[in-house]
Structure 1
């Protein structure tokens, strides 16, 4: 896949160097698991901390599917 560049908000989570979208998604999931942001009861739900809230356009929680769509708006 062609590398894309994360914007400033997403770079706070995955780093600022260009990488394929698949790698960005993988790094976002690593961040979510490391910080225990996956909802304990509803596994498809992600609870945002301050850094993810910026990527999620201010939303406190999103579904996995919505997360991918929102993350893709932060790359060029």
Structure 2
């Protein structure tokens, strides 16, 4: 009989991170777990229609996101997480 193991969420993901001033303009300045941060980021992208219409994997940055993305006008959703990490403490 196999013992059923309950899956624990990764503690690193749940540890609150603090966005810097550039990122706070998009997701707010309260410390929050990475999971919530990503949700808020996507909510912002969808609300402002920043997902590229032709290529859904690309995010078109508005002025607030351009600051977070290091001045890039367009980034892929995979590069986005890497760029966002640079704006956390």
Shorter chain as denominator, the TM-score bin is: over 0.9
Match of 1:62 in 2: 75
Q: Does 1:6 align with 2:23?
A: no
Alignment of 1:37 with 2:50, yes or no, is: yes
Q: Offset of 1:32 from its aligned partner?
A: 0.2
Distance in 2 (CA, whole Å) between partners of 1:20 and 1:73 is 15
TM-score by length of structure 2 reads 0.84
Whose radius of gyration is greater, 1 or 2?
2
Which consecutive residues of structure 2, in runs of 5 or more, have no partner in the other structure? 1-13
Number of matched residues?
A: 76
TM-score (norm 1): 0.98
Higher relative contact order (CA 8 A, sep 6+): 1
